[in-house]
Structure 1
Amino acid sequence: MTGLITAGILVLALLHAAQSVFVPFAFSMLVIALIWPVQAALQTVMPRLLALLIALTVTIIAVVSVGSSIAWGLGVLGHWLFLNAGRFQTIYLDWAQWLEEHGVAVAGPLAERFNVGALVGLLQGVAGRMNSFAGFTLVIFISVMLGLLEVEDVKRRLLLPSVQPHGARILAANRRIGAKLRRFMAVRTFASILTGLVVWIFARFVGLELAAAWGAIAFALNYIPFLGPFVATVFPTMFAIAQFDSWQSAVFVFVGLNLIQFVIGSYLEPRLTGASLAISPFAVIFSVFFWSFMWGLPGAFIGVPILICLIEYAAQVPATRWIAVLLSSTVNDEAVAALDRRDRT
C-alpha cells in the first residue's frame, strides 16, 4: 500500500512538473474523441486527407470561437476598466470607508491595491495569456492532426490476438468514453450558448453596461462547471455595485444571474445529459478544483472529461470497479451485474 501511495504521489508530481507536455496531450485526446466520428463519416465519401483537413478546420473554428469570445469580453472589460479607473476607485473606497466605520478595516489595503497601475498590470497579464493561448492552440492542432492519422492503426493494434483481453477492454472503454464526451460537450455547448444569450438579455434589461461582454464571458466560462458560472456571476455584480451605486441593484443583479445559472446548469443540463453521465456532484467539484491546482485554467476546462475517462476505465476492471461506483451519482445494478457476468465468462 505504501508503494502505491508513493507511486501515486510521484505520478501527480510528474503531471504537475511536466504540464507543458501533458496539458496539450490531454486536450488533444479530447479533441480527437470529439471529431473522429466526423472524419470517419467524411472518409466514406472522400479521400482521407481531405476528410482530415475538413475535420481540423471544424476544430479550429470551434476552438477559436470559444477563445475569441472570452478574449473579446475580457478586452472590452479591461478597456472600460482603464477608462473608468478613477470612478471605480472612488466608489469602492467609499464602500471601504463605510465598512471601516462598522468595524471592518479594509480601506488601507484597498487603497494600495485598487489603482490604475493594478489595472494596467491586469491588462498586460491578460494580453500575455492570450499570446500563450495562441501557441498552446498550435501545439494542440499539430497533435490532433498526427493523432487522427493514427486512430485506425491504433484500433487495429488493439484488436491483435497478442494484446487480448486488454486490447478489447481498452477499445470498448474508448468507444464509451468517446460517446460520453461527445454528449457532454454537445450539451455543455448548448447550455453555454443559452447562458450567454440569457445573461446578455438580462444585462440589457437591467441596464448593466457591457452587456455583450458579460454574455461572452458567461458563454466561455460556462464550460468550467461550478467555478466558471461563479466567476461569471461575481464580476457583473461587482460592476453593478459601482455602476448603480446601490446595494439593492447589485443584489438584484446577483440574484438574477444566479437564477439563470441555476435553471440552466442545475435543471436543464441534467435533463439533456440524462443518466449516461450520472457523475457525483462532489466528484465534479473536486475534479475541477484539483486539475485547476495541477494545470491552472486549462485544467479547469479539462477536469470533467478526465473524470469521465477515469470512471469508464475503472468500470472495465473488476478490481477498480468500486471506484467507478463511488464516483457515479447513481448505481445501475443491472449494468454492474452485466459487467460481472461478462468477466466470469
Structure 2
Amino acid sequence: MAKSTKKIRPPSSSGSVSFERLAHFMICLSIVLFALYAGSSFFIPIAFGLFFSLMLKPVCHQFECNLSSRIISVVLTLITAGMVVFGVLVFFINQIREILTEADDIFAGLQETVYEWAEYGGHRFGLSGRDVEQYIDEAITSVSDRPLGILSTGLSTSGVLLANFSLVMIYTFFFLLYRTPIKNFLLGQLQRENQEEGLQTLTEVQQVAKNYLGGMGLVMLILGTLNSIGLFAIGIDYYLIWGFLAAILGVIPYIGTAIGGLLPFIFAIATTETIWQPLAVIVLYITVQFIEGNFITPKVLGNSVKINALAAIISVLIGSIFWGIAGVILAIPLLAMVRIILTHIEPLRPVALLLSDDLYKESGKFLKEFNEPRYRLSNIFSGRSSLSLLPRRRTTTKPPKRVGHADPQVVADPESD
C-alpha cells in the first residue's frame, strides 16, 4: 500500500500579517469610501436625518410622556422644530435682502476708503496714483470675491440639503418612530454575552451626538449674542445679521470663524468713516473667539467630543473632500461617535486614544497598558484577534439580562431608546 503523505505547513510567526486579510480589508474600505463619495446625495440626507433624530429625541420623549401615541409625538416634535427653523430663515432672508439693496453703495464706499488708505501708504513708498489705483482695483476684487465666493460655495452646497429638506424630515420622522426596533436589531447582531456592552455603546454614541448638537446650538446662540452686542457698541449697521451669521458659520471649524469675522470687517470699511471701527471689529471677533474656545465651548460641550486638534483637522479635510460643507459639519461628531465605538473594541483601544484629546497626557499608555500583543493592529490581519466588544466586568453573580429578542427593559423605557 502506498503511504499517504500529509503536507505539513510551517508554523507562522506570531506577528505575521496575512496579506489576504489585508487585501480584503483594503478592497472593502475602498468600496465603502467610493460609495460614500459617489452616493453623497443619498447618504447626506440620511446622515442629517439621523443626527436630527438624536437631537430631537428628548423633545419627542417629553411629548410621549403626555401622549399615548408615538406617531403624534413625533409629528409634534417635527412641527416644533420646523417652526424654529422657519423663523430663523425668515429673519436671515429679510436681513440679507436689505443688505443686497445697498450693495452698490457698500462697494463704492469700500473702494473709496481703500483708495484713501492706499494712496497715503503709496506716497510713502514712492508709488504714483495710477499704480496705486490699478493695484487697489485688483486687490478689492480679489479680497471681496474670495470670502463671498467661499460663502456662496457653502450656500450652494448647503442648498442641496435645503432642496432635500423634506427628505431629511422624512428620515428624521422614521428614525424617531422606529428607534426602538432599530436599536434592538443592532443589538441582535451581537453575541448574547456582548449585548449588554453593545447597549452601553449605543447609549454613549447617542449621548455624544445629542450633547454635541444641542451644545453647538447653545454655543451659537451665545456667540451670536456676544457678537451682536459688540457690533452694536461699535456702531456697525445690521449687527444682528453679522453677529449671528458669524456664530452659524462657526460650526465650520477654523474656516467659518475667519469668514464670519472678515465679512463685517469689510462691511465696516465700506460704511464707516473712521479707522478705529474696522479695527474694533477685528479685536471684537478675536476676543469673542478666545472666550468661546477657552470658556464657553468647554463649559457647554464638556467632554462630549474629546477629539484632539490633529484628528479634528484631518477629519474636517476628509469630510470636505467627500461631502463638501455637509461633510465639514458632520466630520467631528461622526469622529466622536467612532471614537466611542473604538474604546469598546479591545484591539482598537490604542486607536481610540490616538483620536482622543487626552493623547498628550496619556501618551505613556502606548508603551505600558497597550504594550501587549492583543493591542497590536497586526494581530487583526493575522487572524489572532477579533473585533468583538470588550466583555463587561461584572460585580455580581446574577446572570446577565438577555436583550436579543424583545427585551422589556429596552422597549418599555422610551428614554433608553
Q: Which residue identity is paired with 1:327? A: L
2:300 to 272, 285, 304: 272
2:73 to 32, 38, 51: 51
1:12 CA drift (Å): 2.7
Name structure 2 gaps, 5 residues minimum. 1-21, 371-388, 396-417
Residue pair 2:111, 2:270 contacting (<8 A) in 1 also? no
CA distance in 2, matches of 1:123, 1:297: 10
* Residue equivalent to 1:33: 54
Residue pair 1:314, 1:323 contacting (<8 A) in 2 also? yes
Alignment of 1:24 onto 2:38 = no
Q: Which aligned pairs between 1:138-177 and structure 2 lie closer than 5 A? A: 138-160=166-188, 164=192, 168-177=196-205
SS of the equivalent of 2:164 reads: helix
Alignment of 1:320 onto 2:348 = yes
Alignment of 1:179 onto 2:207 = yes
Which string of whole-angstrom CA distances, capped at 9 and with x for unpartnered residues, describes residues 243-277 of structure 1? 33555432222011110121023222202332343
Residue pair 2:212, 2:304 contacting (<8 A) in 1 also? no
2:63 to 42, 50, 69: 42
TM-score by length of 1: 0.81
Which string of whole-angstrom CA distances, capped at 9 and with x for unpartnered residues, describes residues 190-218 of structure 1? 22111111111111111112212112212
1:130 CA drift (Å): 7.5
TM-score by length of 2: 0.69
SS of the equivalent of 1:208 reads: coil
1:330 CA drift (Å): 2.0
Q: Which aligned pairs between 1:286-325 and structure 2 lie closer than 5 A? A: 286-325=314-353
Which string of whole-angstrom CA distances, capped at 9 and with x for unpartnered residues, describes residues 145-168 of structure 1? 122222111233344487545655
Using a 3 Å threshold, how does the CA distance of structure 1 residues 282 and 189 change in structure 2: closer, same or farther? same
Which string of whole-angstrom CA distances, capped at 9 and with x for unpartnered residues, describes residues 284-312 of structure 1? 23323331232222222222211111111
Alignment of 1:189 onto 2:217 = yes
Q: Which residue identity is paired with 2:356? A: S
Alignment of 1:61 onto 2:89 = no
CA distance in 1, matches of 2:263, 2:239: 12
Residue pair 1:70, 1:216 contacting (<8 A) in 2 also? no
Residue pair 1:198, 1:215 contacting (<8 A) in 2 also? yes
CA distance in 2, matches of 1:125, 1:275: 32
1:119 CA drift (Å): 12
Name structure 1 gaps, 5 residues minimum. none
1:84 CA drift (Å): 2.8
Deviates more, 1:34-43 or 1:146-155: 34-43
Alignment of 1:237 onto 2:237 = no
Using a 3 Å threshold, how does the CA distance of structure 1 residues 164 and 300 change in structure 2: closer, same or farther? same
Residue pair 1:25, 1:140 contacting (<8 A) in 2 also? yes
Deviates more, 1:245-254 or 1:90-99: 90-99
1:209 to 221, 230, 237: 237
CA distance in 2, matches of 1:282, 1:299: 17
SS of the equivalent of 1:224 reads: coil
1:2 CA drift (Å): 5.5
Q: Which residue identity is paired with 1:177? A: V
Which string of whole-angstrom CA distances, capped at 9 and with x for unpartnered residues, describes residues 53-93 of structure 1? 11212332344455555545544443332443333344445
Using a 3 Å threshold, how does the CA distance of structure 1 residues 73 and 293 change in structure 2: closer, same or farther? farther
Using a 3 Å threshold, how does the CA distance of structure 1 residues 298 and 120 change in structure 2: closer, same or farther? closer
Aligned length: 342
Residue pair 1:96, 1:106 contacting (<8 A) in 2 also? no
2:392 to 324, 337, 342: 342
Residue pair 1:19, 1:295 contacting (<8 A) in 2 also? yes
Q: Which residue identity is paired with 2:49? A: S
* Residue equivalent to 1:11: 32
Deviates more, 1:158-167 or 1:300-309: 158-167
Using a 3 Å threshold, how does the CA distance of structure 1 residues 54 and 325 change in structure 2: closer, same or farther? same
Residue pair 2:232, 2:239 contacting (<8 A) in 1 also? yes
